[in-house]
Amino acid sequence: MNKAVFKKYVKSYIINLPTEKQLSLLDKMIGIIKLMKAEVTKNKIFCHNCKNWFDMSKLIISSQKEIREVLTFTDAGYGDYNEYADVEYKVTYEECPFCHNKKEVYNSQIRTINEWSTQR
C-alpha cells in the first residue's frame, strides 16, 4: 500500500464527518498505528550496518578482554607531563547474526597493567 492509496482509503472513511470528528479519528489512528508498530517490532532488533531486522533470541553476545591505552592525568600547563596507562578491560559486545557487525554495549575495568608519562 502506498501513500496515495492509504490517503484515499482514510479520506473515504472520514469525508462526511465534521472537522472535529475527522481530527479526533486521525489522532486515534496515529495512536493505533504506533501501537501496531510497537507490536511488530517487539523482541526484534534492527542492524544499521546490514539493514536487517532479526529476533532478539538470535543476537550473539560475546565478551573478551582487551588492553587499551588510557589517559589518566592531563597536565594543566603545556601538556608536557601527561600520564597514560595500559588498562585491561572486559568488553561485552552484541553481534548481528547476519553481517557479524559488533557493537560494544558494556565495558568494565579489570586492572591497570603499567603507567608511563610523556615527560619532556
Q: Looking at the structure, do residues 33 and 70 belong to the same domain, yes or no? A: no
Is residue 48 a part of any domain in this protein? no
Same domain, 15 and 37: yes
In a domain, residue 47? The reply is no
| Domain hosting residue 85, numbered range | 56-117
Q: Read off the amino acid at residue 17.
A: L
* Confidence band for 119, pLDDT divided at 50, 70 and 90: low
Is there a domain that residue 51 lies in?
Answer: no
- Total count of domains within the chain: 2
Summarize the confidence of residues 15-27 as an average pLDDT: 90
Residues 72 and 110 in one domain: yes
Going by pLDDT thresholds of 50, 70 and 90, the confidence category of residue 97 is very high
112, 63: one domain: yes
Per-residue pLDDT reduced to its tens digit, 38-91: 999 999 999 999 999 999 999 999 999 999 988 888 777 676 677 888 999 999
Alpha-carbon distance values, 96 to 11, 22, 26, 41 (Å): 41, 43, 37, 16
Residue 54's Cβ-side half-sphere holds a number of Cα atoms within 13 Å equal to: 18
Asked if 101 and 65 sit in the same domain, the reply is yes
Contact between residue 84 and residue 69 where contact means Cβ atoms under 8 Å apart: yes
Residue 33's φ and ψ, nearest 5 degrees, are -65, -40
- Global pTM value: 0.63
Distance CA 87, CA 68 (A): 5
Alpha-carbon gap, residue 37 to 55, rounded angstroms: 15
13 falls within a domain: yes
- Assess if residue 69 is contained within a domain: yes
| Per-chain mean pLDDT for the chain | 88
61 shares its domain with 112: yes
Same-domain pairing of 64 and 23: no
| 73 shares a domain with 112 | yes
